[in-house]
């Protein structure tokens, strides 16, 4: 795997729900205090129904093997920051990462039906090497920050108890749905040596580390002058543009010749230029689209790098400016309207995505006609019924949704004036039917929220690096049992 391919794999994996060791971990059931950035993070366990390609799914131990497996699982595999950690301590992370790729990694070249030790990840490194290296990175972070918490006398008992309870509840939920026991589910997810005690130990360590970092992050405050200084240093980061554009793509197959690609690009460019000519003649931009794809984005931000957005964010851009902007597989005809600071308020919602209207109606009825109609109840339904792999494992949670982030139908519902916490509905988009639950509106304007997070992220990152700098991992003989 080349460096560029590895970067693409990591980016796409992040979008699928995988979280990198230095990015934020959202507590699965905690609906409040979402306006922080966590630099330390434990691996997120994406609980799934058995039957998908899972780590060690064919290794659920028979009873006669249990004692020997427990002995091996307890053997010391690594030493980190003076603490000896077991095979199961490492397997907790290895299994989580493995399962993420088993369910999402085929496009990256990983085949879960084959031994990870026999598949090349990149030159000189197998997929097993990658999984183990990443697992140890997670474990090192968890141990180092947890040790710092203990040294500081930080009491994370409440958070650890809550994490243990919620994770075991999720295990039982998915184990029951898969018609297996709790112990069988844990070995299917994390390998045949895993025990409940080892799983709980890892969950509690992660919760302590996360809570300690959260406590430090929560203690950071920034004045209005601090936020204004962040804005002044990089205004584009806190603004959006209102643009219309028409897209023409080449739609060529991967085996097209260079001559075919060049001819198709020239055709797309000519069509984009024709849009501008039609617009100049008095037609609206949408009427000028021809066979192109018309889009109007009122809050396009700089989250994606493109020639079109680079042009739109230019300091000298004025209302009515037009251009033809190249993209990798075609051209855009672009009309600029305005640029403004992001003074609106982002929102947090949960959703359950399903394919058909009747299924959505059944879920909506189940939620509204049974139980107490709480956010936690909705999250439980999302975890078991949503087809959105990116949010289902986190109860359908989408935190601080910004304008322009989602498809229009989804955005329109989220930002409908007067939307209140607890509002529910069913909406249709090009992805299917969404059962919606509105959690809250961020009290900060979006630009202030982003500026606060940017400053906090830098400060927490420096704090985190100070804790983990110099911490090393010593692998011992029993590491061979991992994976």
Please answer whether residues 244 and 337 qualify as being in contact, where contact means their C-beta atoms are separated by less than 8 angstroms: yes
DSSP three-state, residue 467: helix
In a domain, 225, yes or no: no
Q: What Cα–Cα distance (Å) separates residue 91 from each residue in 26, 80, 471?
A: 22, 15, 20
Q: Considering the domain boundaries, does residue 232 fall inside one?
A: no
Q: Is 192 found in the same domain as 94?
A: yes
Average pLDDT along the chain: 88
More confident residue, 28 or 394: 394
Instruction: Tell me: do 264 and 317 sit in the same domain.
Output: yes
Q: 46 and 185 share a domain?
A: yes
- Tell me the pLDDT tens digit for each residue of 191-230: 999 999 999 999 999 999 999 999 999 999 999 999 999 9
pTM of the model: 0.71
The pLDDT value recorded for residue 26 is 36
pLDDT at 371 exceeding the cut of 90: no
Check whether 30 has a pLDDT greater than 80. no
116-122: average pLDDT: 93
- Rounded to whole angstroms, how far apart are CA atoms 95 and 198? 13
Best CA proximity match to 45, nearest among 107, 113, 135: 135
Residue 318 pLDDT exceeds 50: yes
Would you state the pLDDT for residue 48? 66
The confidence score (pLDDT) of residue 99 equals 87
Give the Cα separation of 83 and 90 in Å (integer): 13
Average pLDDT over residues 23-36: 33
**What is the CATH number for 328?**
3.10.50.40
d(CA 12, CA 261): 26
Indicate whether 453 belongs to any domain: no
| Statement: residue 5 has pLDDT above 90 | no
Q: What pLDDT score does 38 carry? A: 37
Give the strand order in the sheet containing 330-341: 293-300, 239-249, 330-341, 322-327
**Of all residues in the chain, what percent carry a pLDDT higher than 70?**
86
Q: Helix (H, G, I), strand (E, B), or coil: what is residue 84?
A: strand
- Residue ranges making up the domain that contains 144: 3-219+468-481
In a domain, 161, yes or no: yes
Name the percent of the chain in helix, strand, coil, to the closest 5: 50, 20, 35
End position of a domain, from candidates 341, 371, 389: 341
Write down the pLDDT at residue 65.
76
Q: Is the pLDDT of residue 409 over 90?
A: yes
Closest CA to 70 of 155, 195, 185: 195
Is the same domain home to 421 and 282?
Answer: no
Pair 139, 186 in one domain:
yes
Task: Give the number of domains in the chain.
Answer: 3
Q: What is the pLDDT of residues 411-434, one digit of tens each?
A: 999 999 999 999 999 999 999 999
CB 259 within 8 A of CB 248: no
Q: Name the residue with tokens 């900060």.
A: 444
Residues 162 and 94 in one domain: yes
At residue 178, the pLDDT reads 87
> What is the spatial distance between Cα 191 and Cα 95, in angstroms, rounded to a whole number?
7
Of 41-45, 163-167, 236-240, 456-460, least confident by mean pLDDT is 41-45
How far, rounded to the nearest angstrom, does the alpha carbon of residue 453 sit from its chain's CA centroid? 17
- The rounded distance, in Å, linking the Cα atoms of 364 and 372 is 13
By the 8 A CB rule, do 241 and 338 touch?
A: yes
The answer to whether the beta carbons of residues 191 and 184 sit under 8 Å apart is no
C-alpha neighbours within 13 Å on the C-beta side of residue 81:
19
Alpha helical stretches, state H, 370-445? 375-385, 408-414
| Cβ-contact 468, 251 below 8 angstroms | no
289 in a structural domain: yes
Q: Which helix (H) or strand (E) holds 339?
A: strand 330-341
pLDDT for the residue 261: 93
Q: Does one domain contain both 421 and 324? A: no
In the predicted structure, residue 21 carries a pLDDT above the cut 50: no
Query: Which of 341, 376, 407 is the last residue in one of the domains?
Result: 341
Q: Reply yes or no on whether the pLDDT at 28 is more than 50.
A: no
Give pLDDT, residue 106: 61
293, pLDDT greater than 50: yes
Q: How does strand 83-86 pair with strand 473-475?
A: unpaired
Please check whether residues 327 and 352 belong to one and the same domain. Answer: no
Contacts of 348 (CB under 8 A, 6+ apart): 31, 34, 397, 398, 399, 400, 401, 439, 440, 441, 442
Residue 477 falls inside a structural domain? yes
Highest mean pLDDT among 50-54, 55-59, 452-456: 452-456
Task: Work out the pLDDT band at 109, boundaries 50, 70, 90.
Answer: confident
Structure tokens at 439: 């959690």
60 and 133 part of one domain: yes
Tell me whether residue 375 is in a domain: yes
Per-residue pLDDT, averaged over 376-396, amounts to: 93
- Asked whether residue 300 falls in the same domain as residue 180, the answer is no
Same domain, 189 and 280: no
Tell me if 381 is assigned to some domain.
yes
Domain termination residue (choose one: 297, 312, 341)? 341
- pLDDT tens-place string over residues 236-258: 999 999 999 999 999 888 889 99
**Residues 36 and 106 grouped into a single domain:** yes
* Residue 325 tokens, joined: 């902007």
């Amino acid at each position: 795997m080349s460096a560029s391919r590895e970067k693409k794999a990591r980016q796409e994996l992040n979008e699928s729900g995988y979280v990198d060791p230095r990015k934020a971990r959202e507590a699965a059931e905690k609906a409040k205090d979402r306006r922080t950035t966590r630099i330390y993070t434990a691996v997120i366990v994406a609980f799934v129904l058995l039957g998908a390609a899972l780590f060690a799914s064919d290794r659920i131990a028979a009873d006669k093997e249990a004692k020997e497996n427990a002995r091996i699982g307890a053997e010391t595999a690594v030493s980190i920051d003076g603490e000896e950690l077991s095979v199961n301590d490492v397997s907790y992370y290895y299994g989580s990462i493995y399962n993420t790729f088993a369910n999402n990694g085929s496009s990256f070249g990983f085949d879960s039906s084959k031994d990870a030790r026999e598949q090349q990840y990149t030159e000189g490194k197998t997929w097993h090497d990658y999984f183990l290296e990443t697992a140890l990175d997670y474990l090192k972070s968890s141990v180092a920050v947890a040790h710092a918490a203990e040294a500081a006398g930080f009491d994370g008992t409440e958070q650890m108890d809550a994490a243990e309870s919620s994770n075991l509840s999720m295990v039982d939920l998915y184990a029951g749905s898969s018609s297996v026991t709790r112990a069988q589910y844990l070995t299917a997810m994390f390998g045949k040596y895993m025990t409940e005690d080892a799983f709980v130990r890892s969950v509690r360590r992660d919760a302590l580390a996360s809570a300690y970092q959260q406590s430090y992050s929560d203690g950071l405050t920034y004045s209005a002058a601090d936020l204004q200084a962040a804005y002044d240093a990089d205004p584009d980061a806190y603004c959006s543009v209102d643009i219309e554009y028409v897209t023409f793509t080449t739609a060529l197959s991967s085996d097209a010749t260079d001559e075919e690609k060049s001819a198709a690009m020239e055709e797309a460019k000519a069509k984009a230029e024709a849009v501008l000519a039609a617009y100049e003649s008095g037609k609206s931009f949408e009427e000028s689209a021809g066979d192109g794809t018309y889009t109007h984005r009122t809050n396009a931000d700089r989250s994606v790098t493109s020639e079109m957005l680079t042009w739109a964010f230019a300091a000298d851009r004025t209302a009515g400016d037009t251009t033809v902007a190249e993209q990798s597989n075609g051209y855009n005809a672009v009309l600029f309207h305005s640029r403004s600071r992001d003074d609106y308020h982002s929102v947090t919602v949960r959703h359950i995505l399903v394919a058909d209207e009747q299924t959505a109606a059944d879920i909506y009825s189940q939620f509204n006609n049974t139980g107490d109609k709480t956010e936690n109840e909705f999250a439980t339904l999302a975890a078991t019924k949503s087809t959105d792999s990116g949010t289902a494992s986190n109860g359908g949670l989408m935190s601080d949704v910004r304008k322009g982030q989602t498809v229009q139908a989804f955005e329109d519902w989220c930002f409908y004036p007067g939307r209140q916490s607890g509002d529910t509905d069913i909406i249709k988009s090009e992805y299917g039917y969404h059962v919606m639950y509105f959690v809250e509106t961020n009290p900060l304007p979006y630009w202030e929220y982003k500026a606060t997070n940017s400053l906090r992220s830098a400060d927490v990152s420096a704090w985190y690096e100070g804790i983990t700098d110099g911490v090393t991992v010593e692998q011992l003989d029993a590491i061979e049992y991992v994976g």
